[in-house]
Amino acid sequence: MDDIVAIALFRHGMTEENKRQAYLGWTDSPLVALQNFPEIPDSFGQIYSSDLGRCRETANVLFPKAVAEIVPELREINFGDWEGKTYEELRNEEKYKKWLSEPFKISPPNGESFDAFTHRVEKGWEKITRNMVGLQINTAAVVTHGGVIRYLLTVYAPEEKDFWEWSIPYGRGYQLTWSREGLRRGERCISLQEVPLMANQTGSGSTIS
């Protein structure tokens, strides 16, 4: 239907730094070799991607016939001095212990506050939604990061959950559906469906709400 708009949010594939459970924000890391990406139906009107290499690489694998529009605002949060470090390397630092207790109030040293992160992501989201409404695009895929997807689901999913309640495994996506007017007004979506990305998530997806 012309008045229905769907946006699928895909998390990038697992990277080498993700594999060792290191904090990975604005720095980058190659995707783990031999990941089995299935062929995604070529049914999206537009592809968008974070500018970081792990997302662009994932978008190129998933949508080889498309050219993704790069949206730098959809980067992960900047972990500053903690980039590339693990919990074991940081657990004795006082600032890190405080951040674990209040991650929405305390910022990583030389990193990004949660407020700055969410403001940036909203600017990128507004670019996408304005583009879709203005150009009458009905379907889009967005390849981005776990933190970005958690925030967008917190704000726009039909079911209200806290940020950390959303599980965003590597190779998993969620499709959000709005009326075109609802998307333009920035309302919560009217339906949310889990969609598979990696080969071990097959099937039609399960409806969440």
What is the reported pTM?
0.90
Residue 6 CA: distances (Å) to CA of 10, 28, 94, 142, 206: 13, 29, 43, 11, 16
pLDDT tier at 200, thresholds 50, 70, 90: very low
Q: Which of 59-63, 135-139, 204-208 has the highest mean pLDDT?
A: 135-139
Q: By C-alpha distance, which of 78, 80, 47, 75 is closest to 61?
A: 47
- The secondary structure of 34-76, three-state, reads CCCCCCCCCCCCEEEECCCHHHHHHHHHHCCCCCCEECHHHCC
- CATH, residue 58: 3.40.50.1240
Read off the pLDDT band of 194 (50, 70, 90). Answer: confident
Report the pLDDT value the prediction gives residue 129, as an integer from 0 to 100: 97
Portion of the chain with pLDDT greater than 70, in percent:
90
Whether the pLDDT of residue 17 is over 90: the answer is: yes
Give Rg (Cα) of the chain. Answer: 17
Residue 42 forms part of a structural domain: yes
Task: Establish if 98 belongs to a structural domain.
Answer: no
Domain that holds residue 42: 4-79+113-196
Give the pLDDT score at 178: 97
Question: How many angstroms from the chain centroid is the CA of residue 45?
Answer: 18
The answer to whether position 99 is within a domain reads no
